[in-house]
């Protein structure tokens, strides 16, 4: 049994009422008071990286607990002052870190924070550590009015202002091309401005807004119809993207500027469309399926309510459900500002699925299809089971394949038509022109229909020999409240080299899902060569790995810096479901029809009725009847689709 490492629970399952946050702060306070050293250090004893802001982060949480008590917690006054003194004396650096590559001004004397304390030890992380230190500092300034002495407060304001100058004048801004860090620095400046004199405040605020417009917003990258803040060079990362959403929420809360709300709304709708109905997501230039935890709460909650959708279904790492933690679960001050902000924010989770039609998603209840930029499924969920695009001969995707060539890459305009019908039916028709290896133009029409329980996928194209439907890589299924990797289907061990199984009755059970095909359904495992099967998923050496781990094994750079998505694209072959054409395909057409149904709801073989006339292709199933118009569309070239419940359904 292989449970997915990080996807542990939905964010909105965490209590978010004031009493819950008071209980969290009570536990944090108890740990901090037991940990604090004589010189005021609040860091975890075994903390070595991401350290420059962590003691100050715990200080801010103590200040928050003191403030929420109305100043009644007198036992926190001395620890707050002592720990702040520790940060100011021991964690503020003013001499350049040897080897730091991103300075444009040497020997500035401006303060900054270190990712690792030793001189020249992994200095590349100093920029984000300084951004985080700025955020911890401004939170202490906000929370510790009347708690810290005037001279400490003045010194902290001076250091925080210096952090901002170091981030913008001394160092190159956002040197890692990571939007969450960059937006975080902007938030820090906007919060800092409230503690400066009018002239300095205006200058900091105006520069922060200018940098956001020119260095962050103007560099957003397109993906799936949206403009996304770039994360490590990619348009979106499923760990850091939700953190950017939280920073946009705080930027809007602090400044009231509409630009942050608009950009957050766009990113939130994008995330909503790519999330599976059960909250699973994967992909990005740093992580494939590792998720943040509490760092995403503020943004998901704030913008989920703004766009009226249940973003909180997002599966997160609940080991970091409230705050950063060490291997033993002990509190860490890293990212403590997110706990402060979500405690202060009164927005509550919006738990109802959005109803607006999204081009890159079809979703109803616990069934969803998330589409990539080419309108090919990137992720399917049904029956609590996740299917990823299968790979054959280095070609990845869902859809028709012939002569080892996947017929999903468009060679022209992709046209989409959505439809709904009584009985909870929802459908999406995708029409795209593609070419095969012989450069023959083919019109591929793919119809996706769901009733919230099952999913029907029907693809029609001109008749060519040898076409089969790649129907997915069954990857993980819900088990004991978590997602577990699927390692066996129909009695076939997925690590068996080059195995093939022809499904009896064209039906197979994969996890909690029954997959049925109108034509012959086969399950194959990769025929990997030699002893190293790392480019084949699943193989004996990848059967115990998650998709993320397998992807990182093939990434060009070390873990944490390589692009796992690029590594995953180097997968040569995967376990794959493939469906042969439906026996009743009309003359001149190849029709491929697959149904995904929860295992407990399966009702035998799948034999849709298929007829073709001048009006188009009619598809009749046990749940619906659909008329898919000709590939040419209507007079304006738009696809035509009619959908209605089946008689008696």
Task: Please state, for a pLDDT cut of 70, what percent of the chain lies above it.
Answer: 99
* pLDDT value at residue 328: 86
CA distance 151 to 157: 10
Sign, Cα dihedral of 536, 539, 543, 544: negative
| Beta strand 399-402 pairing with 405-406 | antiparallel
Kindly state the greatest CA–CA separation across the chain. Answer: 86
- Helices (H) then strands (E): counts for the chain: 13, 33
Place of tokens 């073989």: 605
Helix (H) or strand (E) holding 360: none
pLDDT in tens, 611-648: 999 999 999 999 999 999 999 999 999 999 999 999 86
Q: Is 589 exposed, middle or buried (0-12, 13-18, 19+ CB in 10 A)?
A: middle
Instruction: Look at the chain and count its residues.
Output: 649
Closest CA to 284 of 553, 566, 551, 565: 565
pLDDT in tens, 195-239: 999 999 999 999 999 999 999 999 999 999 999 999 998 999 999
CA distance 302 to 313: 14
* Helix/strand/coil for 163: helix
**Residues whose CB is less than 8 angstroms from the CB of residue 140 and which lie 6 or more positions away in sequence, other chains included:** 56, 59, 60, 63, 84, 148, 156
pTM of the model: 0.96
Mean pLDDT across 391-413: 93
CA distance 217 to 230: 9
* Helix/strand/coil for 321: coil
Instruction: Copy the structure tokens of residue 613.
Output: 């006339």
* pLDDT value at residue 558: 75
Place of tokens 């749940």: 623
CA distance 44 to 59: 13
Are 434 and 409 in contact by the 8 Å Cβ rule? The answer is: yes
CA distance 80 to 83: 5
Instruction: Copy the structure tokens of residue 334.
Output: 């890293």
**Residues whose CB is less than 8 angstroms from the CB of residue 521 and which lie 6 or more positions away in sequence, other chains included:** 471, 502, 503, 506, 507, 508, 515, 577, 578, 579, 580, 594
Sign, Cα dihedral of 528, 534, 536, 540: positive
CA distance 138 to 189: 9
Closest CA to 294 of 338, 240, 239, 234: 338
Give me the chain's average pLDDT, please.
95
Q: Is it true that the peptide bond before 252 is cis, omega within 30 degrees of 0?
A: no
Distance of CA 149 to the CA centre of its chain: 43
pLDDT confidence band for 439 (50 / 70 / 90)? confident
Are 228 and 265 in contact by the 8 Å Cβ rule? The answer is: no
pLDDT in tens, 447-500: 999 999 999 999 999 998 899 999 999 999 999 989 999 999 999 999 999 999
30 phi and psi angles, rounded to 5 deg: -60, -45
Place of tokens 């403030």: 67
pLDDT in tens, 272-301: 999 999 999 999 999 999 988 999 999 999
Instruction: Copy the structure tokens of residue 498.
Output: 């080059």
pLDDT confidence band for 1 (50 / 70 / 90)? confident
User: What are the helix (H) ranges across 308-448?
Assistant: 336-344
CA distance 450 to 452: 5
Q: DSSP characters for 237-282? A: -TTHHHHHHHHHHHHHHHH--HHHHHHHHHHHHHHHHHS-TTS---
CA distance 482 to 479: 5
Are 405 and 444 in contact by the 8 Å Cβ rule? The answer is: no
Closest CA to 113 of 57, 155, 51: 51
User: What are the helix (H) ranges across 522-644?
Assistant: 547-554, 564-569
How does 239-266 read in b/e, with b if 16+ C-beta sit within 10 Å?
A: bbbbbbbbbbbbbbbbbeeeebbebbeb
pLDDT confidence band for 170 (50 / 70 / 90)? very high
* pLDDT value at residue 649: 64
* pLDDT value at residue 542: 95
Are 620 and 606 in contact by the 8 Å Cβ rule? The answer is: no
List the single range of 17-21, 556-560, 627-631 with lowest mean pLDDT: 556-560
State the angle between helix axes of 77-90 and 150-165 in degrees (0 to 180), rounded to the nearest 10. 40
CA distance 490 to 504: 10
Beta bridge partners of 596: 455, 515
Are 502 and 495 in contact by the 8 Å Cβ rule? The answer is: no
* Helix/strand/coil for 631: coil
pLDDT at residue 422 greater than cutoff 70:
yes
Closest CA to 93 of 78, 82, 109: 109
10 Å Cβ neighbour count for 201? 15
Mean pLDDT across 134-160: 97
The vertex-566 CA angle with 564 and 567, nearest 5°, equals 60
**Residues whose CB is less than 8 angstroms from the CB of residue 186 and which lie 6 or more positions away in sequence, other chains included:** 208, 209, 211, 212, 216, 247, 251
Are 484 and 1 in contact by the 8 Å Cβ rule? The answer is: yes
Instruction: Copy the structure tokens of residue 300.
Output: 């998901």
The alpha carbons of the chain give a radius of gyration, in whole angstroms, of 27
Helix (H) or strand (E) holding 536: strand 536-537
User: Residues 115, 118, 119, 121: what is their CA dihedral angle, to the nearest 10 degrees?
Assistant: -60
* Helix/strand/coil for 18: helix
Beta bridge partners of 363: 368
CA distance 581 to 591: 6
Helix (H) or strand (E) holding 498: none
């Amino acid at each position: 049994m292989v449970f997915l490492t990080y996807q542990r629970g939905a964010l909105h399952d965490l209590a978010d009422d004031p009493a819950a946050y008071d209980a969290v702060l009570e536990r944090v306070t108890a740990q901090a008071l037991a940990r604090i050293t004589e010189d005021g250090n609040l860091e975890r004893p075994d903390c070595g990286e991401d350290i420059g802001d962590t003691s100050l982060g715990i200080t801010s949480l103590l200040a928050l607990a003191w403030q929420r008590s109305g100043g009644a917690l007198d036992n926190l006054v001395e620890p707050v002052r002592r720990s702040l003194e520790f940060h100011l004396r021991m964690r503020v650096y003013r001499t350049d870190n040897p080897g730091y590559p991103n300075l444009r001004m040497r020997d500035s004397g401006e303060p900054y924070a270190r990712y690792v304390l030793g001189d020249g030890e992994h200095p590349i992380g100093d920029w984000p550590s300084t951004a985080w230190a700025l955020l911890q500092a401004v939170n202490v300034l906000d929370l510790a009015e009347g708690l810290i002495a005037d001279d400490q407060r003045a010194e902290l304001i001076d250091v925080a202002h210096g952090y901002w100058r170091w981030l913008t004048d001394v160092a190159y801004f956002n040197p890692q091309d990571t939007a969450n860090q960059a937006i975080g620095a902007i938030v820090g400046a906007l919060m800092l401005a409230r503690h400066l004199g009018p002239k300095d405040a205006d200058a900091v605020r105006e520069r922060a807004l200018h940098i956001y417009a020119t260095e962050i917003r103007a560099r957003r990258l397109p993906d799936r119809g949206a403009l996304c803040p770039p994360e490590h060079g990619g348009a979106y990362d499923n760990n850091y993207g939700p953190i950017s959403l939280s920073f946009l929420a705080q930027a809007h809360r602090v400044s009231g500027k509409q630009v942050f709300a608009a950009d957050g709304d766009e990113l939130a709708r994008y995330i909503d469309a790519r999330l599976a109905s059960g909250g699973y997501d994967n992909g990005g230039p740093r992580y494939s399926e590792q998720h943040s935890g509490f760092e995403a709460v503020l943004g998901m909650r704030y913008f989920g309510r703004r766009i009226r959708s249940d973003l909180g279904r997002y599966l997160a790492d609940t080991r970091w459900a409230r705050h950063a933690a060490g291997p033993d679960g002990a509190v860490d001050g890293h990212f403590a500002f997110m706990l402060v902000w979500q405690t202060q924010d009164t927005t509550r989770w919006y738990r109802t699925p959005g109803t607006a039609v999204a081009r890159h998603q079809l979703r109803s209840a616990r069934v969803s299809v998330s589409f990539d930029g080419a309108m090919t499924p990137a992720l399917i969920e049904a029956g609590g089971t996740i299917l990823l695009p299968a790979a054959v001969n280095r070609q990845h995707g869902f859809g028709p394949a012939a002569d080892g060539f996947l017929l999903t890459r468009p060679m022209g305009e992709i046209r989409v038509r959505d439809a709904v019908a009584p009985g909870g039916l929802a459908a999406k028709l995708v029409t795209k022109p593609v070419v095969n290896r012989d450069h023959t133009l083919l019109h591929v029409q793919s119809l996706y229909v769901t009733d919230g329980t099952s999913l029907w996928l029907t693809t029609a194209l001109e008749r060519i020999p040898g076409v089969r439907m790649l129907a997915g890589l069954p990857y993980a299924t819900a088990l004991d409240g978590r997602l577990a990797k699927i390692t066996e289907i129909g009695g076939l061990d997925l690590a068996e080299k080059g195995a093939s199984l022809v499904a009896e009755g064209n039906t197979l059970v994969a996890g909690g899902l029954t997959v049925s095909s109108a034509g012959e359904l086969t399950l194959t495992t990769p025929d990997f060569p030699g002893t190293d099967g790392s480019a084949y998923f699943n193989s004996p050496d990848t059967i115990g790995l998650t998709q993320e781990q397998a992807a990182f094994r093939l990434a060009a750079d070390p873990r944490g810096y390589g692009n796992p998505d690029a590594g995953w694209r180097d997968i040569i072959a995967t376990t794959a479901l493939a469906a042969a054409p439906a026996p009743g395909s009309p003359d001149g057409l190849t029709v491929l029809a697959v149904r995904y149904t929860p295992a407990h709801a399966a009702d035998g073989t799948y034999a849709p009725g298929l007829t073709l006339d001048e009006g188009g292709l009619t598809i009749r199933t046990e749940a619906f009847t659909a008329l898919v118009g000709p590939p040419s569309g209507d007079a304006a070239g738009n696809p035509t689709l009619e959908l209605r419940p089946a008689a008696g359904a």
